[in-house]
């Protein structure tokens, strides 16, 4: 819940206000911070639960849940803008910029 709230309150508004290459850079930066800092350290803190409790009850691991939360709360709402930014970058590359 806390992770979802943080992604919706802080990360998503930062991405919805931008477009183009800046959007792609910010998305990559937020993804990197989310996975390498937040999910990695939570995974280390809850390693015992992941190894025993999660396997026993067939639940998602911390890493899997972190990826799912980022995808559903951040990427899906901005995926059209990301696609447009990528297409514009391709067009600029083809034109020689």
- The 10s digit of each residue's pLDDT in 20-59 is 899 999 999 999 999 888 888 888 877 887 778 877 887 8
Residue 20 to residue 5: CA distance in whole angstroms: 26
More confident call, 81 vs 50: 81
SS3 at position 18: coil
Q: Are the C-beta atoms of residues 81 and 19 closer than 8 Å to each other?
A: yes
More confident call, 82 vs 56: 82
Q: What is the pTM (predicted TM-score) of this model? A: 0.80
In the predicted model, what is the mean pLDDT of the chain? 88
């Amino acid at each position: 819940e806390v992770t979802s709230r943080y992604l919706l309150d802080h990360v998503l508004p930062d991405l919805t206000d931008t477009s183009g290459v800046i959007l792609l850079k910010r998305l990559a930066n937020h993804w990197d911070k989310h996975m390498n800092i937040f999910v990695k350290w939570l995974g280390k803190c809850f390693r015992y639960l992941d190894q025993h409790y999660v396997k026993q009850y067939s639940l998602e691991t911390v890493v899997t849940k972190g990826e799912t939360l980022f995808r559903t709360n951040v990427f899906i709402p901005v995926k059209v803008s990301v696609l447009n930014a990528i297409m514009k970058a391709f067009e600029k590359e083809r034109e020689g910029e």
